[in-house]
Structure 1
């Protein structure tokens, strides 16, 4: 089935549009999508969707579609109506698989905001082969997890020589707040250590072996990183694995590629505090009453005010080396958890729907599926990709 079939009613369907990040994504699409775009907002409540449509600015008014994760046939109807289906409905491990399956079966391109490594691995095991048969592209982690890191590493690699071993380190700084949905997903992942490891092992059994090439993403160790003037704490998020998968897919990353992913903090006390805080959150996530108490502090759908978001920012600095060359690059922008995530998500959907992209299918990364086209879109939308220095 051709994913670009002209008989699909909509170029893009946004599922979960009335949630916090979903509404921001809808507002971005309404304000920035080309007027000829055919798109729709979807969710459980038609009344809430109609209220959202009424307040959206711009000339590109969306359609309204009703669907519920508890009704798999309604999700299949969404997939049949769309060329690209973008979903914000999480936690994805709990609510996401039926929609992935529907898109894989219908040849519909799929995007989400998942930072849930277990979910992404299971979707590869269960639905990658079917998506390759139908031509569907399954692109997870299209927000702050993991667009700046995946495309930032890709951008850095493009500044280095070809055909030689390459190393890239990413250092994340940010001032931001979490949404209720992000907190729910994080607590769920922290409480599922055995499931996370089992899914990763199962994926490893299914992934084809690389022949004549190697791509690695070791965790690394805490250290003072003189190259960025900060303490570096290993970040065990999905981002490093996404970068590794891009390196597996694209020969431009060279015959032997290594990526390490860090949080950058200015002083040793902050570094020690970060380690202690992460340990406390992990411990709390193992105890159901503590996990419920934390979840109750911020429910899915909640998020910070525009004023607080306006004070938020992020910067990811990369240090790349290979072939006798060393390069420093940066990806930077505003509020990472909401405004910029909505921007990245919307531009990813627009890129899949409208841009002339390399032919890919199955579970793919943003770098593999969209690469330079998405970087160009994000730059035009105000996110910085720059070479800071090189020698």
Structure 2
């Protein structure tokens, strides 16, 4: 049976979902011959309101679906090849949707930054996804596409130049302007609540190899304290997204048959600068708890268009081997990371999975790099405002 849609944006009435719809309208209008897409959510009335507010054509398809209703999910599976979901926290609202996609052979992409839930989904649904052919790809936003693909490109270039991968890679956020999403804050709160209620969740959160079942690599840097980075000569501070990004990078290495090496060591930190000023700023960053505060961003809230367009990020990846050889890769994005860039990244990941990865990527639960790799890098550079480049020191 041929589904009427290639992809459904589930959560199209939310803040990030609306941004995804706006991007699809601009990049893949119905007249473009591109993917056939629809807006999805629980309320037909709200979907129609958002459709009109964003200036979508009146005949833009609307799919009513409720992830808590099994019959509704079965109907959704019959209508689309892929579900793009922005409805988080995923540990609260995503489990049934992943299960339905894995069983039905429907592809899935999300913005998840919840490693304990992701591991639960891997344990429960990966066999079904492999059997059905469903490609389940977590973390297709700022967490973790730029980091996952940055390491992927660095290791590819390192092997090309030196004949082997870098055993040590440092991910460093050189600059970033923008706010973290309300969804990220809600996911953090939900994760902390789950960890408080279940010690097994806390164990997963502490384990850098929580997404690599059956494999544990070498001891990893803790990344939880300010320090002077000897490779850069600059002070660095803990980076709030490192807890998910590092685990996704290790899962990518695992899925790539340890192309980065079984002894691979990776960490992420935020660069704060040189000297006393850099040290003071690193200490200030380390003590900042605003993301989890009660007055932090809420789901459905976000920056204005002007604020999103004024945002950006600049990431550095430094790879080294045991002989001291080194290589650097930079990754830059042209919008605020949590909203403007994320909405473009997840949309392009969905289209890449549908149009360019059908033969290359079998069913299973994936991270972006092994699922799409160079194909996604090319799409992001062509359409989504990202730049990936080897940097000569």
Instruction: Tell me, yes or no, if the aligned pair for 1:166 and 1:256 is still in contact at 8 Å.
Output: yes
Using the TM superposition, give the Cα deviation of residue 97 of structure 1 relative to its aligned residue in structure 2, in angstroms.
0.2
Q: Does the C-alpha gap of structure 1 residues 179 and 374 become closer, same or farther in structure 2, counting only changes over 3 Å?
A: same
Partner of 2:172: 171
Q: What are the residue-to-residue correspondences of 1:72-151 with 2, within 5 Å?
A: 72-151=70-149
1:242 aligned to 2:248? Answer: yes
- TM-score normalised by structure 2 residue count: 0.86
Which residue in 2 is equivalent to 1:366?
Answer: 368
Structure 2 CA distance for aligned equivalents of residues 100 and 143 of structure 1:
17
2:170 touches 2:318 (CA, 8 Å); kept in 1? yes
* Unaligned runs of at least 5 residues, structure 1: 1-5, 286-290
Q: Distance in 1 between matches of 2:337 and 2:361?
A: 29
Equivalents in 2 of 1:71, 1:176: separation in Å?
36
1:209 deviation in Å? Answer: 4.1
Q: CA deviation at 1:195?
A: 5.0
Pair 63,386 (structure 1): closer, same or farther in 2 beyond 3 Å: same
Alignment counterpart, residue 45 of structure 2, candidates 41, 44, 47: 47
Structure 2 unaligned spans of 5+: none
Q: Report whether the alignment pairs 1:264 with 2:239.
A: no
What is the CA-CA distance between 1:142 and the residue it aligns to? 0.5
How large is the Cα RMSD of the aligned pairs?
2.5
Contact 1:124 1:363 survives alignment (8 Å): yes
Specify which of 20, 25, 33 is matched with residue 25 of structure 1: 20
Q: TM-score, normalised by structure 1?
A: 0.87
Distance in structure 2 (CA, Å) of the matches to 1:197 and 1:26: 36
Quote the residue 1:388 is aligned against: 391
Contact 1:37/1:60, CA 8 A, preserved across alignment: no
Question: Is 2:201 aligned against 1:185?
Answer: no
State the match for 1:328 in structure 2.
328
SS at structure 1 position matched to 2:336: coil
CA distance in 2, matches of 1:163, 1:327: 12
**Structure 2 vs 1, CA of residues 166 and 298 (structure 1 numbering), >3 Å: closer, same or farther?**
closer
Residue in structure 1 matched with residue 10 of structure 2 by the alignment: 15
Q: Distance in 1 between matches of 2:343 and 2:144?
A: 13
Which residue is 2:354 aligned to?
353
Q: Deviations over 1:116-175 (max 9, x none)?
A: 112111111111111111111111110001001101110111110244552211012312
- Shift, 1:27, TM fit: 0.7
Q: CA deviation at 1:196?
A: 2.8
CA distance in 1, matches of 2:373, 2:9: 22
Structure 1 pair 137–19 and aligned structure 2 pair: CA distance change class (3 A): same
Give the CA deviation at 1:224: 1.4
Distance in 1 separating the partners of 2:120 and 2:50? 33
Q: CA deviation at 1:335?
A: 0.8
* CA shift for structure 1 position 55: 4.6
Going from structure 1 to structure 2, the CA distance change for 1:142 and 1:205 (only over 3 Å counts) comes to: closer
Give the Cα separation in 2 of the matches to 1:149 and 1:387: 14
Q: Aligned residues, how many? A: 369
CA drift at 1:320: 0.8
Q: Decide whether aligned partners of structure 1 residues 369 and 175 sit closer, same or farther in structure 2, where only a CA change above 3 A counts.
A: same
Change (3 A) 1:102 1:181: same
Structure 1 residues 154, 59: CA separation in 2 closer, same or farther (over 3 Å shift)? farther
Equivalent in 223, 240, 253 of residue 227 of structure 2 = 223
